[in-house]
Amino acid sequence: MRRALHILILALVVCLPAYGQKTSMKKLESQRAQLEKDIALINRQLAQNSKNSSAAMNTLTLVRSKISAREKLIAGCDQTLRLLNDSIGVCQGEINRLQARYDTLSLYYGRLIRGSYKNRDSRMWYMYVLSSESMGQAFRRFGYLRSLSAQMSGQALKIRETSARLEVEKERLTTLRNDADEMRRKVVKERASLQDEEAESSRLVNQLSKDRKKYQQQLQEKNRQKEALNRKIADLIRAQQEAAAKAAGKGKAKGGKAGGKTTSTEIDAKLSGEFAANKGRLPWPVEGAVVERFGKHKHPVYTNVDLPQNNGVTLAVKRGAEAKAVFNGTVTQIVVLPGYNQCVLVSHGEYFTLYSKLKTVNVKAGDKVVTGQAVGTVDTIGGEDQFHFELWKGSTPQNPENWLRN
């Protein structure tokens, strides 16, 4: 029993690191594929971008987003390369161990063969048994000869098995080395692309800096649009909260002390709990690359200029991409705002999600929506195919990236 336990522990010690490495490699491959997808999407948007000066600011945003994605891609490649090098070291160690075992088995087998060759005349074996002084001794001698034969067969089998495992490990080592070489070439290529993108970013910054007055006017217009969006959404949520509180108060008055909350308030509380329980697991409303993140930021060129609070995230998306609800809820209102076109506000109990920069809308106020249901298609505004998404808890904006699936 104790021996079996030791064998099990040894197997776990050997297998768990390999399993962990395989899991890490799989995760890194998935992340690398997504980053490559994001970079390809940004490249398509850059290709579609007009070459006039008014697009310079958007181009800079896209280029810097691509640089960020490229840096993460290179970091992931470096990590993959380290894992491959670790695997190569482990594999080489296993080959050395198997080779040593193979040599030992071969040496022992050679001795057995030489011993049997010296006594290859079968008559000597018979005489060895027949010359026994008693039947017991004869049986023991016969058993010894039979054991010797079994040892030779067993040793030959062990040699064949070890040789087969050795070949498998050598093939695996060759594959790992090829993968590592390919990853090194990829890292060199990505670093070269990163240098080109950083040079393009510097060129755009210089271009924007030369005509500060013109671009500041464009910036001020975008800032006004963003501030108008922030005010409008805050007003809509406040109005929704006041209406809900009023309805809850009426329900309580009708129900008396025992009446408690109204049915609709109970459903909202349940929905709020379900929404909160899915933090970090909500699906993204649209597939794309994040180009503007949540929070307050400095202007990328005029670094002494503070940009208005970004209450959500903006993603570069495919032209005509479909925006989908991230969770079950009710459409509160649909509004149209400059720079953001049609915006759909969905309530999920005390939580709200906003889907903006839409060209078409598939829902209307009061409609129930379910997770994954299309709410509209993304518009092309000023040559930009971008989608803006926000998530609020009551009157407090949340960072959507903390709620959406990684």
Q: What size, in residues, is the chain?
A: 406
Give the global pTM. 0.61
Model confidence pLDDT, tens digit, residues 64-99: 788 888 888 888 888 887 887 888 888 788 877 777
What is the per-residue pLDDT for 253? 52
Cα 283 → chain centroid: 13
When pLDDT is averaged across residues 36-56 and rounded to a whole number, the result is 62
What is the per-residue pLDDT for 47? 67
Pairing, β 329-337 against β 322-324: unpaired
Q: CA angle, corner 219, sides to 218 and 223, nearest 5?
A: 120
When pLDDT is averaged across residues 280-285 and rounded to a whole number, the result is 94
| 60, two tokens | 């800079």
Domains of the chain, first to last: 2-210 (1.10.287), 227-403 (2.70.70.10)
Q: What is the sign of the dihedral through the CA atoms of 147, 149, 154 and 155?
A: positive
**In sequence order, what are the residues at sequence separation of 6 or more whose Cβ sits closer than 8 angstroms to the Cβ of residue 249?**
none
**What interhelical angle do 56-118 and 212-259 show, nearest 10?**
80
Model confidence pLDDT, tens digit, residues 146-203: 555 555 566 666 767 777 777 878 887 788 788 888 888 888 888 888 788 777 777 7
Contact in structure between 376 and 346 (CB atoms under 8 Å): no
